[in-house]
């Protein structure tokens, strides 16, 4: 009896001690993700969608009970963010604040390459991993950083697929015009496209930029008409791109093929009605593209995260609109971080960085793999663009994927104007 009581006491003590040690090891941890959002200024729309996507991921992970490491630690996520007003003035101040005062464990980039450039330096200086989304310029990843990782297809491969598509549709086309907004992103895309076109044997009859504030494209379209190309490629951002598309239609520009940056994949491009028909645009991701386990199996790759369909359903439930690729990009930025933490089985920056370096998998967003050479560390080399085209009647437009062949949902409408 006496021994039994002593045994009980020892056992109880043991449980207590063990429990204390165990719970000390498995301290639950809330990981802080820091970023700036453009709540005002010109990037307001894209940035908001990007953050919506990120928040959807965060809520899903937290609701599912977080990430559980092998030592039993439960990791949940929280965000801290500030308004960057769509300009770079305060980006560095705000990211420094995120990295120091707010003790952010990981950072997500702002929207746009310009703001990301400014914030990436801070991430690197304070030894924080930053997943970029909405930042396509190649140059950010060619500055010798080691902790910055890109989810988007870089600018240099943004529009090249459209030329592959054109070549597959019509091998008689020779003359093309490349016209672009005169800003960093569109110029990078168009310069790379120009090199690619020349290598493919196209004859670039007009290669010219227009000022970012341009609203009236009429004189420019006259100039394109005079150069007599068969295809027009280029563009810039949503507003100039949609205006340009509308005016090309209004002025009956006689070309067989039009591919523009950024604007066409946006759902409200359809507001242009007839002017939208036949216009092709590169997209980082489309709701129509049903990338899932089966696709991964077919490609012999590992699949991770929700399927395209699951993501679209969840997003529409949360925000009552169809997700754009900005939203998908925001979500996938969080998803990659989650995967890297799981692989690393730790929150240590170096371990998570190595896990990101090693990533090579398929998500609903597409193939993800990072360049790990010192020259352009973090550049996205797995993901590639899809190309959409608006088809149908003016009052019942639908967006179809016309390239690459493995994702096609409809044959491309070619030539424009039904070959009049």
Partner 1 sequence: MSMLKNLRNPGLWLWMAIVLAVGLWPVITQRASTREEIFTVLLSVVLASSLNILLGYTGYVSFGHIVFFGLGGYVGLFLITAYGWSLWPAMLAGGISSAFLALLLGQAILRLRGAYFALATIGINEAMRAFINNFEPFGGPTGISLNFSVYNDYGGAANALWMLYGVMLALALLNILLSYVVKSSKFGLGLLAIREDEDAAEVMGVVTPRAKTWAYVLSAFLPGVVGVLFFFKNGNIEPPQAFRLHMSIEMLVMVMLGGYGTILGPVLGAAGYQRLRGLLLTSDLFKNIQLTVAGVLLLVIILFIPAGFVGWLRNRFPKLRRFLP
Partner 2 sequence: MDILAFLVDGLLIGFVYGIAAMGLTLIWGVMNVINLSHGAIIALGMFGIYLLFSLFGVNPYIGVVLVALAGLITGMLIYAIAIHRVIDAPHLSTLLATFAVNMIIIGLGTSAFSTSPRNVDVALGSIEMGPVAFPATRAVAAVASVLVTGALYYFLYRTTLGKYIRAVTDNRAAAELMGIPSARILALSFGLGTMLAAIAGGLIATFFPFTILSGATYELKSFVICVLGGVGNPVGALVGGLILGSLEGVIPAFMPTSWVPVLEFILFVVILLVRPTGLLGRKK
Tokens at 321, concatenated: 């609109």
**Contact string (CB under 8 A) for partner 1, positions 125-144, x = contact:** xx------------x--xxx
SS3 341: helix
Using CA atoms, how far apart are residues 130 and 109, in angstroms rounded to an integer?
Answer: 6
Contact pick of 73, 76, 175, 182 for partner 1 (by CB under 8 A): 182
Tokens at 199, concatenated: 């290598």
Tokens at 133, concatenated: 């989304």
In this structure, the number of other CB atoms found within 10 A of the CB of residue 320 comes to: 7
Please give the span between the terminal C-alpha atoms of the chain, in angstroms, as a whole number.
103
Question: Which stretch in 3-11, 83-91, 227-235, 274-282 sits in contact with partner 1 by CB under 8 A?
Answer: 83-91
By CB under 8 A, is residue 319 in contact with partner 2? no
Would you say 80 and 102 are in contact if contact means Cβ atoms under 8 Å apart?
Answer: yes
Using CA atoms, how far apart are residues 55 and 307, in angstroms rounded to an integer?
Answer: 18
Smallest CA-to-CA distance from 50 within 58, 236, 97, 280 is with 58
Residues near partner 2 (CB under 8 A), total: 34
Would you say 261 and 235 are in contact if contact means Cβ atoms under 8 Å apart?
Answer: yes
Tokens at 159, concatenated: 């529009």
Would you say 151 and 380 are in contact if contact means Cβ atoms under 8 Å apart?
Answer: yes
Would you say 204 and 178 are in contact if contact means Cβ atoms under 8 Å apart?
Answer: yes
By CB under 8 A, is residue 90 in contact with partner 1? yes
Residue 100 or 350: the one with the smaller Cβ distance to partner 1 is 100
* Residue 130: CB minimum distance to partner 1, A: 13
Contact pick of 62, 87, 225, 349 for partner 1 (by CB under 8 A): 87
Using CA atoms, how far apart are residues 326 and 266, in angstroms rounded to an integer?
Answer: 10
By CB under 8 A, is residue 396 in contact with partner 2? no
* Residue 205: CB minimum distance to partner 2, A: 14
Non-local (6+) Cβ contacts of 102 within 8 A are 32, 34, 80
290-349 residues in contact with partner 1 (CB under 8 A) are none
Contact pick of 90, 273, 292, 398 for partner 2 (by CB under 8 A): 273
Using CA atoms, how far apart are residues 222 and 190, in angstroms rounded to an integer?
Answer: 20
By CB under 8 A, is residue 417 in contact with partner 2? no
Residue 73's binding partner among partner 2, partner 1, none (Cβ under 5 to 8 angstroms by kind) is: none
Tokens at 97, concatenated: 């604040």
Residue 223's binding partner among partner 2, partner 1, none (Cβ under 5 to 8 angstroms by kind) is: partner 2
Residue 321's binding partner among partner 1, partner 2, none (Cβ under 5 to 8 angstroms by kind) is: none
243-272 residues in contact with partner 2 (CB under 8 A) are 243, 246, 250-252, 268, 271-272
Distances (CA, A) of 119 to 32, 142, 237: 17, 15, 22
Contact pick of 40, 125, 168, 350 for partner 2 (by CB under 8 A): 40
211-230 residues in contact with partner 2 (CB under 8 A) are 211, 213-216, 218-220, 222-223, 226
Tell me which residues touch partner 1 (CB under 8 A).
39-40, 82-83, 85, 87-90, 92-94, 96-97, 99-101, 114, 117-118, 120-121, 124-126, 139, 142-145, 182-184, 186-188, 209, 211-212
Tell me which residues touch partner 2 (CB under 8 A).
40-45, 48, 182, 208-211, 213-216, 218-220, 222-223, 226, 238-239, 242-243, 246, 250-252, 268, 271-273
């Amino acid at each position: 009896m006496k021994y039994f009581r002593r045994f009980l006491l020892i056992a109880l003590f043991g449980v207590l001690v063990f429990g204390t040690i165990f719970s000390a090891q498995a301290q639950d941890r809330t990981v802080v993700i820091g970023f700036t959002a453009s709540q005002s200024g010109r990037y307001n729309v894209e940035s908001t969608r990007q953050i919506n996507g990120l928040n959807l991921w965060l809520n899903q992970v937290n609701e599912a009970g977080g990430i559980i490491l092998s030592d039993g630690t439960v990791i949940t996520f929280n965000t801290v963010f500030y308004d960057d007003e769509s300009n770079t003035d305060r980006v560095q101040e705000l990211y420094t604040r995120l990295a120091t005062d707010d003790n952010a464990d990981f950072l997500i980039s702002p929207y746009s390459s310009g703001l990301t450039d400014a914030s990436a330096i801070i991430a690197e200086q304070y030894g924080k991993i930053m997943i970029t989304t909405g930042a396509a310029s190649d140059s950010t990843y060619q500055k010798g950083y080691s902790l910055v990782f890109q989810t988007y297809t870089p600018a240099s491969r943004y529009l090249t697929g459209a030329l592959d598509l054109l070549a597959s549709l019509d091998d008689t086309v020779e003359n093309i015009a490349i016209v672009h907004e005169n800003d960093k992103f569109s110029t990078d895309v168009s310069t790379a496209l120009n090199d690619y076109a020349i290598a493919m044997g196209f004859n670039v009859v007009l290669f010219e930029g227009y000022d970012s504030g341009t609203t009236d494209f009429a004189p420019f379209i006259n100039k394109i008409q005079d150069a007599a190309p068969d295809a027009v490629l280029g563009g810039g951002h949503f507003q100039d791109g949609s205006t340009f598309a509308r005016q090309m239609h209004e002025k009956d520009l006689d070309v067989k093929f039009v591919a523009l940056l950024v604007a066409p994949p946006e759902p409200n491009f359809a507001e242009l009605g007839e002017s939208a028909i036949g216009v092709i645009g590169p997209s980082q991701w489309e709701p129509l593209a049903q990338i899932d386990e089966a696709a991964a199996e077919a490609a012999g790759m590992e699949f991770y995260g929700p399927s395209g369909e699951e993501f679209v359903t969840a997003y529409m439930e949360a925000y009552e609109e169809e997700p754009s690729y900005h939203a998908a990009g925001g979500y996938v930025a969080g998803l990659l971080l989650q995967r890297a933490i799981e692989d690393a089985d730790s929150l240590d920056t170096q371990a998570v960085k190595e896990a990101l370096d090693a990533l090579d998998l398929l998500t609903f967003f597409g193939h993800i793999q990072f360049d790990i050479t010192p020259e352009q560390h973090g550049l996205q080399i797995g993901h590639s663009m899809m190309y959409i085209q608006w088809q149908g009647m003016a009052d019942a437009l639908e967006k179809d994927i016309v390239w690459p062949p493995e994702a096609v949902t409809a044959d491309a409408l070619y030539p424009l104007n039904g070959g009049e």
